[in-house]
Amino acid sequence: MAILYSFNSDCFRFTYRRFFMTPYFTAITCINIFSLIILFVLISGNSVINVYQKQRFQITSAMVFAICVMEVLTIVLDKSPLEFRFLHIASNFIGFSLTPLVFISLAKTLFPHTSRFSLTFSPVVVLWIFYEVWFLGTLLFAPKLSVFYVNRANCYSRATGFVVYVIFYALGLLYFLVKNIFFSARFWKSRGIVLVLNFFLIFFGTTVQIIYPEIQITWITVIFSLLIYFIYHIGLYQQLDMQTCLLNYSSFQNWASRQKKERCIVVAEIDNFAKLKQNYSRKDVDRIVVTVSKIFNGFFKKYGQCYRISGSEFLVTVNDTSLDFDALNKKFFVEFVKESFNLKEIPLVSLGYARISAKSDLSKCLSLADVKKREFARKRPEFLF
């Protein structure tokens, strides 16, 4: 408002009437802004997700907030006095620039990385940079070929290049969909439908506004989607072991309580884990655990869901109880030795298995698996020759 007051009072009265003459737009804008503020407070105060994930949510929320403000300015300044023409063009440029980037940023919030936050120039980001260079170039030197055009009377219209914006917008959405698919396949297969439905929510809300610009529902849809992802991530974080990105012991307990048929579990344990912690630094021990978890998950994920049930133990639930588990564990051990042969300080692992049903005592099942692990450790030297 400070910018508007710097002009004459007639201009201010025009923009004031322009904003409040459409109650629907006013209501939607207020809902958008208040929703973003509430979402930002919820994200900032949350202690479940890690700080880097929190940063990604905050950046995406801030981007949507900036676009909402730019959208207000574009509506208010359209057909306003010529003093506002530069601000009108600038607000449109910022809005059309950030919109494809929102979906790229939102896709990057999906994965619960534990490494330090960094800006990675993935191919889709490089494409967005090319889009920005083209957009700015056409806006400066050939405005009628750009995404939008503001004439000498300060009237907005879509320009010839609007189709380029739609293409990059669609690429951002496609990237977002692909990341959703990878995320649901890697972390939470049973809840993947939530991600797919949420994508179609965004697709519907944003596509409607492209076809019918007067229906201002894009950003309230995106904000609602952000809230869904935030809730989704909180639930996911409560079930994940964040060091290995495998499901934790509580998740395994919940799985066991839901079983109605007999299943089988395979448990792998890192040998001499207590000595590892004594002889190596925490960083080295963490690296060993993550490496073992990747090899374990890479081999067993085709058989069932993998878990980390303790500091040194990993478990997979197997639906097919007819498998030869002694042969399966032997096959895994041979693969493990091959994959870890050239890796420094990687210990051996012992494997055991047990059957489990709805009435089973978990502690007894795990004890039976421990017995099998001791048998496996005795026979292990034979597997290498």
CATH code given to domain 246-383: 3.30.70.270
Give the model confidence (pLDDT) of 207-265 as tens digits.
888 788 777 788 888 888 888 888 887 877 788 887 888 889 998 988 888 888 889 99
The mean per-residue pLDDT over the stretch 98-117 comes to 73
Map the chain to HEC letters.
Answer: CHHHHCCCHHHHHHHHHHHHCCHHHHHHHHHHHHHHHHHHHHHHHCCCCCHHHHHHHHHHHHHHHHHHHHHHHHHHHCCCCHHHHHHHHHHHHHHHHHHHHHHHHHHHCCCCCCCCCCCCCCHHHHHHHHHHHHHHHHHHHCHHHCCEEECCCCCEEECCCHHHHHHHHHHHHHHHHHHHHHHHHHCCHHHHHHHHHHHHHHHHHHHHHHHCCCCCCHHHHHHHHHHHHHHHHHHHHHHEECCCCEECHHHHHHHHHCCCCCEEEEEEEECCHHHHHHHCCHHHHHHHHHHHHHHHHHHHCCCCCEEECCCCEEEEEECCCCCCHHHHHHHHHHHHHHHHCCCCCCCCEEEEEEEECCCCCHHHHHHHHHHHHHHHHHHHHHHCC
Could you tell me which residue, 2 or 50, shows the higher pLDDT? 50
Question: Start-end ranges of CATH 3.30.70.270 in the chain?
Answer: 246-383
Predicted TM-score (pTM) of this structure: 0.73
pLDDT value of residue 265: 93
Could you tell me which residue, 359 or 69, shows the higher pLDDT? 69
Mean of all residue pLDDT scores within the chain? 82
Would you say domain 2-240 falls under CATH 3.90.1720?
A: no
Question: Start-end ranges of CATH 1.20.1070 in the chain?
Answer: 2-240
Give the model confidence (pLDDT) of 270-324 as tens digits.
988 888 888 888 888 888 898 899 999 999 988 988 999 998 999 999 988 889 9
Could you tell me which residue, 30 or 190, shows the higher pLDDT? 30
Report whether pLDDT(20) > 60: no
